[in-house]
């Protein structure tokens, strides 16, 4: 009797256990997940967004705009995150954008144009972004030569996914050196382990690679991934330091600083951190780093942009990367702008 009762209780418990086992596992896994995840606060973001949206909606309703959602949502004004790595692309993008668009854009369009057309007639002695106006000194025309592919035999191309595109479809992958990787930024450029060495499984960093081998010329195009974080100033600080470090590592090399390729106007107007105003502002500052002795500024943008000031729409699918068949435009531009 007693035994039967016990058995009954036991089977009932088993039944209950079976019934709730899935949800038990589910909650347990959830607890483990939130305990081990880096930043669980991120998951509350939708709530904050909903709250901001609600407030804005309420505001617009009291102003009598029925059912018209507030336009300024993408400002991201609601989410109170401090700048840092853990922010979403959207959040970070906005902070970068608002800061660039204030003053830099105004001066950039003029400066960028001048730099682009006259081939970087910036001040020669002081490669410092905060240097006084370049027009005080007599600008010297840089004389460019046209070269063929062999010019790049002792060149190294450093950059992000755009340079990867050049590597894959430029036809130089056998002869030239590429230290390029998708998502590469100026901040982590030297420390990125992206260079594979023959006969070695582990990749070495750009720093190590550049210390081991000397190149005659260095082509650098970098800067679009950085637009999500920081300002033009913080970017340029890192950029000029990187150029100085390049100079230290490769004292004899000619350094070509390439202007960041612009995106299509459509992509630029999409409203996130990628926009042509920001790119122009950065390009104008990069141009000032050229001393026209050993450091030169090259801007391929006039070759690939239309009258709207953005990349020609048919040259690209995503608005950011040149299609493989248009990579030669870029390469030809580089070939037509060699200094020795």
Closest CA to 142 of 120, 126, 123, 125: 120
Nearer to other proteins, 35 or 138 (CB): 35
Element (H, E) at 336: none
* 3-class state of residue 171 by DSSP: coil
Site residues, other proteins (CB under 8 A): 19-23, 25-26, 28-30, 32-33, 37, 42-43, 45-47, 49-50, 53, 67-69, 73, 88-89, 160-162, 165, 168-169, 171, 182-183, 224-225, 316-318, 320-321, 323-326
Nearer to other proteins, 11 or 88 (CB): 88
18: left (phi over 0), alpha (psi -120 to 50) or beta: alpha
Q: What is the C-alpha separation between 105 and 279, in angstroms, rounded?
A: 9
Q: Is 180 exposed, middle or buried (0-12, 13-18, 19+ CB in 10 A)?
A: buried
- Distance of closest approach, residue 262 Cβ to other proteins, in angstroms: 13
Query: Which two structure tokens, joined as six digits, stand for 52?
Result: 């901001």
Q: What is the C-alpha separation between 189 and 171, in angstroms, rounded?
A: 24
- Distance of closest approach, residue 142 Cβ to other proteins, in angstroms: 29
Nearer to other proteins, 104 or 160 (CB): 160
- The 10 Å Cβ neighbour count of residue 115 is 24
Closest CA to 101 of 260, 279, 302: 279
- Distance of closest approach, residue 26 Cβ to other proteins, in angstroms: 4
Nearer to other proteins, 10 or 20 (CB): 20
How far from 47 is each of 79, 215, 217, 253, 272, CA to CA, in Å? 10, 53, 52, 53, 21
Nearer to other proteins, 131 or 320 (CB): 320
Which residue(s) pair with 256 in the sheet?
Answer: 219, 296
Q: What is the C-alpha separation between 79 and 91, in angstroms, rounded?
A: 8
Nearer to other proteins, 1 or 47 (CB): 47
Nearer to other proteins, 120 or 259 (CB): 259
- Distance of closest approach, residue 115 Cβ to other proteins, in angstroms: 23
- Distance of closest approach, residue 302 Cβ to other proteins, in angstroms: 21
């Amino acid at each position: 009797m007693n035994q039967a009762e016990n058995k009954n209780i036991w089977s009932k418990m088993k039944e209950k256990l079976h019934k709730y086992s899935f949800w038990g596992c589910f909650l347990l896994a959830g607890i483990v997940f939130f305990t081990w995840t880096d930043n669980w606060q991120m998951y509350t973001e939708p709530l904050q967004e909903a709250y901001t949206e609600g407030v804005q909606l309420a505001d617009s309703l009291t102003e009598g705009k029925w059912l018209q959602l507030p336009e300024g949502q993408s400002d991201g004004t609601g989410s109170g995150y401090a700048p840092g790595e853990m922010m979403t692309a959207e959040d970070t993008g906005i902070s970068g954008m608002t800061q660039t668009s204030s003053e830099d854009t105004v001066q950039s369009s003029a400066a960028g144009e001048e730099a682009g057309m006259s081939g970087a007639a910036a001040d020669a002695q002081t490669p410092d972004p905060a240097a006084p106006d370049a027009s005080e000194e007599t600008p010297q025309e840089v004389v460019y030569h046209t070269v063929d592919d062999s010019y790049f035999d002792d060149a190294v191309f450093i950059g992000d996914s755009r340079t990867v595109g050049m590597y894959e479809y430029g036809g130089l992958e056998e002869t030239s050196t590429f230290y390029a990787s998708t998502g590469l930024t100026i901040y982590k450029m030297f420390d990125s382990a992206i260079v594979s060495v023959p006969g070695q499984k582990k990749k070495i960093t750009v720093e190590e690679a550049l210390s081991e081998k000397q190149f005659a010329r260095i082509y650098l195009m970098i800067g679009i991934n950085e637009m999500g974080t920081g300002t033009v100033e913080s970017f340029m600080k890192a950029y000029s330091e990187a150029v100085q470090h390049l100079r230290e590592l490769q004292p004899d090399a000619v350094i070509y600083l390439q202007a960041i390729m612009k995106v299509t106007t459509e992509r630029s107007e999409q409203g996130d951190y990628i926009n042509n105003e920001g790119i122009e502002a950065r390009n104008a500052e990069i141009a000032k780093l050229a001393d026209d002795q050993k450091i030169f500024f090259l801007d391929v943008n006039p070759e690939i942009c239309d009258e709207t000031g953005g990349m020609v729409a048919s040259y690209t699918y995503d608005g950011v990367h040149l299609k493989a068949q248009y990579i030669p435009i870029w390469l030809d531009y580089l070939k037509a702008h060699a200094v020795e």
